[in-house]
Structure 1
Amino acid sequence: MEDVLTQLDHIAQQKTEIRHCVRILVIESTNLQLSGSTSQGTYVNLLNHAIRSLLEVRSIRWTISALEGFYSVLEGIMDLPHVQELYFDFSKLPLRWQTPEMIPLRQFKSTQLQSFGFLARDANALLAQGLINQLQKIMPTASLSRLDIGFTDSESSKNAELMNQFFKALPKNTPLRIKYLRVHGWKLALNSLTMPHLRQMSFLDLSHGSEPFSQSQIWSSILNNGIQLRKIVGAITSSLNLYLQSYAGLEQITVIIPRPNSLDVLAFYHELCQNSLPIHASTLKYFKVVNTNTQGHCVLDDMNAISVCEKLEHLTVTIMAGHIDDLYDILHTAVAMPYLRILEVGYGSVSDYRPPSEAHRIVPMICRALEKTFGNSSRSFPVIVFGEKRYTPRQVAQDSLERHGSRGST
């Protein structure tokens, strides 16, 4: 506690040069359990002055779960002149404490705001409504290019069409240039009102709250409007594959294989690996699969197709327990990619239930495959992540010695 107060005092009194170096300010809590002679008034005063002294801050991310220290922080960040990014997470702030104007965006000193976002419980939360209304008013004069808005209770907000609300207040023939859009728990409607503001979009995140069917409609609309994204997060669908096969230039993609599983979804995944991603071979650097059902898996044909993406730096694959014979070939093909730095390996089974004996069987197989993969080449290998453990050639060699040693001592 004393260390925190001392650091705040040094910053507030401008006794440290760190205040000139801070560009990103992350506030996770302002609720301190004060003791001794330190008063709440002393603490909030130091907090306020310390924040005001951070004149070079560009990005602020603030988690608001209580009102202790809230107004001291608010007054401090409102005075910072160069803020370009604001993000508020008040999803756990009790609704009874929220008011529409408790964060007055129009009173912020910075005129350089480029990125704005918040996470609320639902679209009916008073603070969420207030921020949405304020955004409508500042958008005509702001230079926003990033929107990151989410609701944790997506069921109650899934039909909220926020883009329509934002853009209907804009004068005609004054399109925004939204380049980054994250949709979490609300409906992205692409129509004649919203599309003019999204034509320069390069990043779209549909990871939360959008059903695969509605995502299919989104990909069809984006395809028809000629938007070529560089970074994508979304569920695997046939429409996503059609979209990806319509252009080249993708750099990052995270696909979600949703629950419940179906043969169609697995077919879409294999289509993605074998026909869609190779089109982006000269640009793709990041490919990750989020398996929510443990059944989507990479087969050797998938990896052979992915391997033409020679610029890949980060790759995630899931190995099916029934295809363990292909494990070495899959790993060997993956680590042969020249720029790969991180390879994440997971494994699934034919059902959601995986008995302990299966895990005990497959883990040694993975380790032997890693040992064989590392042992057959002298080139520099990426870090391989399996079972929340990171493997390097040295680590595999050490594990091998330990396994052989334990067998020799029994």
Structure 2
Amino acid sequence: MSQTVNANSTTLSTTTNKSAETIAHDQDLLGEVSVRSSVKLLISFRKASTLWRLWFSSLYFVSRYNHLHPPSLSGLLLVPKYRTKKDDQIEYICLGDQNESITPVFPFEDMTNVTLLQSCNGLLLCCKGEKYYVFNPSIKEKKLLPIDFSPVSPVYYSLVFEPSISPHYKIIGLTKTRKNSNSMYKIFIYSSESNLWSPSKAPEFSAPGDIDFTSGIYCNGSVHWTKRVKRGLYFDIEKETINDMPENPRQEQCSCEYFGHSKGYLYCLFTMEGLHHYELFEMKKDYSAWDFKCKIELNELALHFPKMSMKTYPRDPHFMYQCHVLSVFRGHNGEFEEIIMSIPGEVIAYNCKEKTSRKIYKSRKSEKEKKVWYGIYQVYDFVESISPVSFLTT
């Protein structure tokens, strides 16, 4: 029986290899077959031969594939805020079918001294020491960025990548114009197409002293900065202009617990000490105002997930619930929003429309560590992508 199986397997393998060679040498046929394939399948194709790797990394194929497959959130990367060699594990939360999804792979064996800075539609920006890299965790490719300008102060970087529009990415570098200046800034732009930095046409501009430039959010052609200020700013990349965002919808004593985007929409989520709910807002497309979307009652949520209730006696009204907002996910055509939150040892999703919740992930950490698990991670989107960080062929 085993010999028959081996013989059939050999025949099948030979036939498959011949078919693969035929497809590999017929780029039209290869293109039609592969452009409809999943990222997971394409990555396995890339490993089959050098010819296939070059083809699937070509500017022509990647541009066509990305145009047909707009970026979609695959999962979340949870990076410990306080990292040591003992506790350096980056947690990955898959938001789709695990059997059909890929697991992100990082380009450095030791990630202890690597700081993730930004994620954008499949690419990530990181630094290791004084060196900055763009890498794709789907295909484990990285590129060292040139730094050929001399800033007088630390630079805040934002990664910009819109694969359905262009296969090339940009880096927005923002720095103070004078070392002793507290509020005047200048923008530099790096283009992966030219591999060069250039000063932006935008003039120097002032900014509130407490604006958070470390967490720029790219959405709809602009990079946005806000969080702890009354009114945020955004940089229109095509026009190269700095603009004001509308005032935050909640001001006095409220804190912005989350600022991010999903499916081309900006979201912010507010709460305050002693408040038993979150309030979610969505930015209007014309930037005229923030629209109220929903309220998440934490006391009702705690009935389904008792772990999120604090066990302090007497109960402190300022610290009643252990939960941390990781992301906001916008459903197809905006028919619902899901708030993804971490609680001790678990990650849950709350559906704003149906007012239902579900557990989507259980931490690998021990029971002893779970009690402090929530709120100790920085969160980065993971989007499956075949986009190389630099093109070898056209």
Whether the TM-score (by the shorter chain) exceeds 0.5 is no
Larger Rg: 1
Higher relative contact order (CA 8 A, sep 6+): 2
Tell me the TM-score normalized by structure 2: 0.32
Q: Per residue, is there more helix in 1 or in 2?
A: 1
Tell me the TM-score normalized by structure 1: 0.31
